[in-house]
């Protein structure tokens, strides 16, 4: 007698019976010959440890009611009504793997009783997979209902995301999939802290983590470096990890928020197709060149993450002399978190061969320790070995005209072995800066423009040192 394997059956018909309604409790008829019209022979295949041996087969018999099974499953409906000789015979044989036996028996029990006895995540997921395989949608939904009420843990979430895509997108399971991804995004929010653990996770889990807007990283460079290392680990062949990076992972990298140095690295990186690298770098540079800074967080797809170091955008001009304009945006909640004596720094940027960063601080005023002020300082990334001058011009986007307004300008000399901080370029009362009626926040974002030029000292400046 021929055996039916559910994976070989094609469902190309309309099945009218599965309406999602309760079909009643027929548990009394389960494996009961008095209420059954057929015998199901379950051929259970066990793969031997020795590959030279043939699989062992154990056949177990079950008394089944074809109307009950057909009412719950398009697979069994097709099996009993396909017009072939086997569909008219009393005995029917199905093939399953030994690892599927417990879940399959639980599925048969559900088709009679509308209930499951399994209660653990692992066991319910096994039933879920077998219910999808034998096309029992009511059981798929019921498993999803039970799983949503169980606590999520890293190991169980990993099992959720490892399910076949047909199950993950099924009705009643979409919310579970979303919840699983959110769990990963929150649990592994700090990829630096959990880097070794995350490196062992599969693709679906990594996608859920790096797609989060709340990812805790110093800069977007950290995400870029992490995914390349992960891809090399899981897909050793260059062509394989290049395909994975470009087709699955790259869409989650916020390229416009990467530093200029790392974008340059991307152009010569063998992990990406050269044309793809050129395209995303050009797009990032184009975004960085847009002024004034009133974009919609990169057109919905590239929201700025909660970076430890605030991203900068930099534009270089050659006329009337070489200079750079550095742009930084700070959200109101980031600024508010600086009170009473906090600070946050921008990511590093290069001007005239020198590395700099900006520091935004809430500090005590000079006149009275009871008052606070908001100030911006310019710092160098390394000790000064040769004195040099920086010409600066700070401007902020402010109300009511919402245009950049110059706040200060001048020159500052970074001397050898002196402090790596320049004087405060911008200082204002904390209350005036952060208050509800502040002129410095446009849509709850503080926009700063910093025009910088690095040059050698002239004779007058040299004599003044």
Contacts of 388 (CB under 8 A, 6+ apart): 352, 354, 413, 414, 454, 455, 456, 457
Contacts of 178 (CB under 8 A, 6+ apart): none
Parallel, antiparallel or unpaired: strands 38-46 and 91-97? parallel
Mean pLDDT by 10 residues, the chain (465 residues): 50 42 79 94 87 83 95 92 69 93 96 94 93 92 89 80 74 75 85 87 88 89 94 93 93 89 89 90 77 45 78 85 91 93 92 92 74 91 88 92 90 81 80 93 93 90 75
The whole-angstrom separation of Cα 184 and Cα 157 is 8
Place of tokens 């978190």: 337
What's the predicted TM-score (pTM) here?
Answer: 0.65
Q: What DSSP line would sit under 387-435, residue for residue?
A: -EEEEEEEEEEETTTTEEEEEEEEEEEE-TTS-SBPPPSEEEEHHHHHS
pLDDT, residue 5, reads 54
Q: Which tokens in the block code for residue 229?
A: 């290392």
pLDDT, residue 450, reads 93
pLDDT, residue 17, reads 42
* Packing angle of the helix pair 274-288, 260-268 (nearest 10 deg): 160
pLDDT, residue 18, reads 44
Instruction: Dihedral sign for Cα 434, 439, 444, 446, please.
Output: negative
pLDDT, residue 242, reads 92
Half-sphere exposure of 130 (CA within 13 A, CB side): 23
The whole-angstrom separation of Cα 82 and Cα 89 is 12
Which domains does the chain carry? Answer: 6-171 (3.30.710.10), 188-288 (1.25.40.420), 312-464 (2.60.210.10)
pLDDT, residue 234, reads 95
Alpha helices in 114-247 (DSSP H): 121-133, 137-148, 154-161, 165-168, 174-187, 195-199, 203-210, 220-234, 238-244
Instruction: Dihedral sign for Cα 335, 337, 341, 346, please.
Output: negative
pLDDT, residue 10, reads 40
pLDDT, residue 294, reads 41
């Amino acid at each position: 007698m021929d055996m039916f394997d559910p994976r070989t059956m094609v469902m190309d018909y309309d099945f009218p019976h599965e309406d999602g309604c309760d079909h009643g409790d027929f548990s009394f008829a389960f494996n009961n010959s008095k209420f059954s019209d057929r015998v199901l022979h379950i051929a259970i295949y066990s793969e031997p440890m020795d590959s030279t041996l043939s699989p062992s087969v154990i056949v177990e018999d079950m008394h089944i009611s074809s109307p009950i099974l057909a009412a719950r499953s398009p697979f069994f409906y097709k099996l009993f009504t396909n017009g072939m000789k086997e569909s008219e015979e009393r005995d029917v044989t199905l093939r399953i793997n030994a690892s599927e036996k417990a879940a399959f028996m639980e599925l048969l029990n559900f088709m009679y009783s509308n209930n499951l006895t399994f209660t653990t995540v692992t066991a319910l997921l096994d039933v879920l997979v077998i219910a999808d395989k034998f096309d029992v949608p009511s059981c798929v939904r019921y498993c999803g209902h039970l799983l949503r009420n169980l606590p999520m843990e890293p190991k169980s979430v990993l099992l959720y995301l490892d399910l076949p895509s047909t199950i993950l997108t099924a009705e009643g399971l979409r919310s579970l999939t979303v919840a699983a991804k959110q769990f990963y995004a929150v649990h592994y929010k700090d990829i630096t802290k959990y880097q070794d653990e995350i490196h062992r996770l599969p693709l679906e889990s990594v996608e859920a983590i790096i797609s989060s807007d709340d990812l805790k990283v110093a800069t977007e460079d950290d995400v870029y470096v992490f995914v390349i290392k992960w891809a090399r680990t899981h897909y050793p062949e260059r062509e394989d990890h290049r395909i994975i990076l470009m087709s699955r992972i790259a869409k989650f990298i916020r390229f416009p928020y990467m530093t200029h140095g790392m974008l340059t690295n991307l152009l010569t990186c063998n992990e990406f197709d050269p044309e793809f690298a050129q395209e995303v770098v050009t797009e990032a540079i184009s975004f960085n060149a847009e002024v004034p800074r009133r974009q919609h967080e990169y057109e919905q797809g590239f929201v700025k993450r909660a970076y430890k170091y605030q991203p900068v955008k930099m534009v270089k001009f050659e006329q009337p002399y070489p200079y750079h304009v550095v742009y930084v945006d700070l959200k109101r909640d980031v600024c508010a978190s600086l009170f009473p004596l906090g600070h946050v720094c921008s990511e590093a940027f290069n001007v005239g061969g020198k590395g700099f960063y900006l520091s935004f601080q809430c500090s005590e005023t000079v006149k009275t320790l009871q008052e606070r002020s908001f100030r911006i300082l310019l710092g160098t990334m390394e000790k000064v070995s040769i004195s040099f001058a920086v010409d600066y011009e700070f401007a902020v986007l402010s109300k009511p005209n919402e245009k950049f307004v110059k706040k200060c300008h001048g020159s500052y000399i970074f001397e050898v072995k002196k402090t790596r901080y320049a004087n405060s370029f911008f200082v204002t009362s904390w209350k005036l800066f952060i208050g509800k009626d502040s002129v410095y926040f446009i849509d709850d974002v503080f926009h700063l423009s910093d025009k910088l030029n690095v040059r050698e000292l002239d004779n007058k400046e040299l004599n003044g040192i």
